[in-house]
Amino acid sequence: MNKKQRNVLKRIIVSALLLAVITIAEHVISIPNPVLLALYMVPYLIIGGDILKKAFLGVRNGQIFDENFLMAVATIGAILLGLVTDGEEGGYLEGVAVMLFYQTGELFQSVAVGKSRKNITALMDIRPDTAHLIAEDGTEEDADPDDIPVGSIISVHPGERIPIDGKVIDGSTTLDMSALTGESVPVSCKAEDNVLSGAVNLSGLIKIETSKEFGESTVSRILDMVENSAMKKSRSENFITKFAHVYTPAVCGAALILAVLPPVINTIIAGEGHWTTWIIRALTFLVISCPCALVISIPLSFFGGIGAASTKGILVKGSNYLEALSETGIVVFDKTGTLTRGVFSVTAVRPSESFTSECNALGVSPEDSLLLLAGRCERYTSHPIGKSIIESLEKKGLIKDENTLTGAEDIEEISGRGIKASIGGRTVYAGNSKLMDDLGADYDKTVPAGTVVYVCANGAYAGYILISDIDKDTSKAAIKALKRSGIRKTVMLTGDNESAASEVAERLGLDEHHSGLLPGDKVDMVESLLAGKRGKEKLAFVGDGINDAPVLSRADIGIAMGALGSDAAIEAADVVLMDDDPIRIALAMKISRRCLRIVKENIFFALFVKAICLALGAVGIANMWLAIFADVGVMVLAVLNSIRCLSVKE
Amino acid sequence: MKKTYDIDVDCANCAQKMEDAAKTVEGVKNAIVSFMTLKMKVEFEEGVDHISVMKNVLSACKKVESDCDIVLD
């Protein structure tokens, strides 16, 4: 609690005690009415003095219909009625108690909001305060990160946060990137590696040459984004603002009619107005009507949702996007780099029958032998295909020592075809189908999609090695999770050929795929998918931010993944996933849906309870005490409900 | 030109009032107040002196909500 809040708390306690003492005293001894009024005025002014002042200032400045005004009129009205009717209708106790409960509710709200504000900022508190600048003579001095020019050398000790983006020039360590990516597995880094601000240095001292200014560094950009996100208001928030503008004057008008019209009609018909009864009903009406529950709980829910998402490495650039995310019906993926890793590697090794029996006779693995054979041919290649074969050998542990791949002689590159080499007296060819056609080899033509390296040894076809882009580990699970969470259609767009595209689409369980697209075609394709939307549903496009900025901005929601360090993607996207794990898309949807459900619960609950209480108040069933519940109670419950947005279960 | 200012205000409704008040000040193109982050983002008209405009914004806000503050640097 801050000073202001503690002050209010003191006033609440003092006036509550006074109120209790006076109420008991009133019942024990008889106190003349004017004295009683004077006694009640003490706690009333202690607790409500500032409200009265604000109400007065508000009226003077033309701000009539605000909650201060409502409370002032309702409580003064109740007290005056108590004075006039000698305590039969309304009364001093009600008047003071309404003010007391109102202030208690306001205090609760203020503390709750302050606490969640603190929680969220603490989650996001990754802004480093100092950087250790290394001077030319090697001495270290602390400086404000803002003052450090690009190209400076800074040191980061274990346990500290990297303040500015840069390149490691000395030392090696492991980094905790969880503040940036939500991923808690540490990442190791050494000299020449680029590192991002916001990461925590876990083990060793490193020296960094800064490559950006502090304001342009990752940590500053993330914080700006989260702070600015609250400025982009959602439809629900705008609705409530507009609603409150109409609602409060309407309720005040209704209260006035309630106070005047029935007594006038009564006077005309029955000759007796029952003025006090109707005035107290009108005052009850005013207390119930306060729209605080909605006005506070809805932005709080969105803020909580955005805060919760950002702790999982999902940056949502505004409440409006969180809202749109929850309405997503179609998710369009870019293939390479989004669903697949965009890295080529060996996915299948298929020796031919003759090669298999030959190897079996020698007692060696036919797959490994084929791979080794191709590896020897590709040993000196700089081609990515050849490299992926060597990598596969390394991964399998088949390269025992530096001599493993020797033995190939007369290596000759046949342009556009492949490689010819002589290994252990055998002439070996490794290359594409054109090479096999040239050789007249009897090779397997029914291979799956991907890039194929055929191997031919001593004139006999030995088998093929399939090299393709591999799926990310979580792609399939992510699409399944999206489907389960109610996404109607998943679509994949790619520049690859149809056979590669359909295979990936089928394997991952996508509903639709479009292949052979140039970057410009992707925009057209998204346009036509946008035209096929049903009702209110939204279309989200997920890309890796490279070359797809136009599509990202064309879709209802552009989601850029693996965006750490890619400024263009961060600019173009509405939602930024800090790492490139597709499962986070499903998590983002989940968080948004949950947040919006809580928002709707609050809108419905608050309006429903208020409508009932207003109706009951108008016919005289609800008294001042129920009115206080309708105001303060509903607000407390709504605030507690919206705080739930802060927590996420994965 | 856009600038962001820290503000101090107690309730969401009051923050909304500040936003409405700030928008009416001459030289202000648009203003957005976030109660959650306690920040006011002001977009100024071309070529105005933002320091004097912000003084007017502050007094306009004080008028509608006596208990508020804007940190002007």
- Tell me: pLDDT of A465 over 60: yes
Average pLDDT over residues A504-529: 88
Nearest-by-CA chain B residue for A290:
B13
pLDDT digits (tens, 9 = 90+) for A345-367: 888 888 988 889 888 888 888 88
Place of tokens 């203003």: B31
Beta strands in A52-180 (DSSP E): 131-134, 140-143, 153-156, 166-170, 173-176
Q: What is the ipTM of this complex?
A: 0.79
What pLDDT does residue A441 have? Answer: 83
Contact A292 B12 (CB under 8 A): yes
In DSSP terms, which residues pair with A403 in a beta bridge? none
In whole angstroms, how far apart are CA A455 and each of A349, A430, A439? Answer: 11, 4, 11
Residue A90 pLDDT level (bands cut at 50, 70, 90): low
Q: For chain B, which residues lie within 8 Å of any Cβ of chain A, measuring from their own Cβ?
A: 4, 10-13, 16-17, 32, 34-39, 41, 63-64, 66-67
Sheet holding A451-457, edge to edge: A340-351, A460-471, A451-457, A426-431, A418-423, A408-414
Q: How far is A242 from chain B (nearest CA, A)?
A: 11
Number of Cβ within 10 Å of residue A223's Cβ equals: 17
What pLDDT does residue A123 have? Answer: 63
β-pairing, A575-577 with A557-561?
parallel
Residue A518, phi-psi category: left (phi > 0), alpha (psi -120 to 50), beta (remainder):
beta
The CATH number for B27's domain is 3.30.70.100
pLDDT digits (tens, 9 = 90+) for A233-245: 888 888 887 887 7
pLDDT digits (tens, 9 = 90+) for A391-429: 888 888 877 777 777 777 788 888 778 888 888 888 899
Cβ atoms of A22 and A39 closer than 8 Å: yes
Pairwise CA distance, residues A211 & A301, whole Å: 38
Q: For chain A, which residues lie within 8 Å of any Cβ of chain B, measuring from their own Cβ?
A: 4, 50, 53-54, 57-58, 61, 63, 66-67, 106, 109-110, 113, 117, 120, 227-228, 230-231, 233, 241, 244, 291-292, 295-296, 299-300, 302-303
**DSSP label at A646?**
G
A50 is catalytic: no
**What's the domain count of chain B?**
1
More confident residue, A87 or A445: A445
Work out the mean pLDDT of chain A and round it to a whole number. 84
**What token pair was written down for A379?**
């040993």
- Tell me: pLDDT of A203 over 90: no
Helix (H, G, I), strand (E, B) or coil at A514: strand
- What is the residue range of B34's domain? 2-70
- Tell me: pLDDT of A598 over 80: yes
**What token pair was written down for A333?**
């993926």
Cβ atoms of A193 and A168 closer than 8 Å: yes
What pLDDT does residue A124 have? Answer: 62
- Tell me: pLDDT of A546 over 70: no
Cβ atoms of A489 and A503 closer than 8 Å: no
Q: What percent of chain A has pLDDT over 90?
A: 16
What pLDDT does residue A530 have? Answer: 92
Which residues of B are less than 8 Å from A227 in CB distance? 4, 37, 39
Pairwise CA distance, residues A86 & A84, whole Å: 6
Q: Nearest-5° angle of CA B57, CA A296, CA A257?
A: 90
- Tell me: pLDDT of A449 over 70: no
> Residues near A480 by Cβ (< 8 Å), separated by ≥ 6?
A509
Sheet holding A200-201, edge to edge: A187-189, A173-176, A200-201
Which residues of B are less than 8 Å from A50 in CB distance? 67
**DSSP label at A161?**
B
Amino acid identity, position A209: E
Average pLDDT over residues A9-35: 87
Q: How far is A127 from chain B (nearest CA, A)?
A: 16
Q: Which of A125, A137, A147, A334 is catalytic?
A: A334
What pLDDT does residue A557 have? Answer: 93
pLDDT digits (tens, 9 = 90+) for A91-100: 788 888 888 9
Cβ atoms of A315 and A579 closer than 8 Å: no
Own/partner pairs, A629-634, CB within 8 angstroms, 24+ separation: A630/A287, A630/A288, A631/A101, A631/A102, A631/A105, A631/A287, A631/A288, A631/A290, A631/A292, A631/A293, A632/A101, A632/A102, A632/A104, A632/A105, A632/A108, A633/A105, A634/A293, A634/A605, A634/A606, A634/A609, A634/A610
Nearest-by-CA chain B residue for A306:
B36
Residue A89 pLDDT level (bands cut at 50, 70, 90): low
